Amino acid sequence: MSGVTLLEAAISGMSRERFEQRIAWWARRVVEDTQINLRVEGREHLVPGESFIIMSNHQSHLDIPILFHAVTPAMRMVAKKELFRFPIFGQAMREAGFIEVDRQNRAQAISSLRSSLSLLREGLHVWIAPEGTRSVSGELLPFKKGGFWLALEAGVRILPVALHGTRDVLPVHAIRTHLGRSVGLAIDAPLNTQGKDISTLVAETYAVITALHRRAKELAQPT
């Protein structure tokens, strides 16, 4: 996020409308500045008026602006507590409604996830990377259960998303971007959560995102 946006959010706060306008502008600029050839499929699955837990694979820090740009700016994210320690940046994230999670403290993590229920009731979406971290290889890692607990607790559907190509633009641990690469993003139909246990939901979502990732790879192929 640009320094101006962070500073404005941290000092004076923003209305939801203003924040989403700014985050949409920032995300678009990131895509334009990195000269990404972005191909998106499945936007029609984002049902108007319904809040989702959005789950995707996680390959790069660049996933975040891509998701805001290609899916929706009406989304808040679950982020590890370390990101909230940075001056201005951390305060801005809190004011914007981002969710701080201590991955080493299960009780705190559950409490933080529970606090995101209010965001869903306000009509926002919550993004969670169920892998818990970026995949260095690009292959899908095992899923953690916290986000699925939230989906069951909130009684909302999961919107499965997969990205491919972001790690080619900004690899894990890299600070330099590679311009002009292709990125594919695929969205599938929302997954119902009612009547399912966590293990079943994890397995179903993993299978869907695995298939979606193959489709995202196809979309990322240069035309």
* pLDDT tens profile 87-119: 555 666 666 677 777 666 666 667 777 777 888
Give buried/exposed letters for 129-167 (b at 16+ CB in 10 A, else e).
bbbbebbeebebbebbebbbbbbbebebbbbbbbbbbbb
* pLDDT tens profile 134-153: 888 889 999 999 889 889 98
Annotation: CATH topology of 3-219: Glycerol-3-phosphate (1)-acyltransferase (3.40.1130)
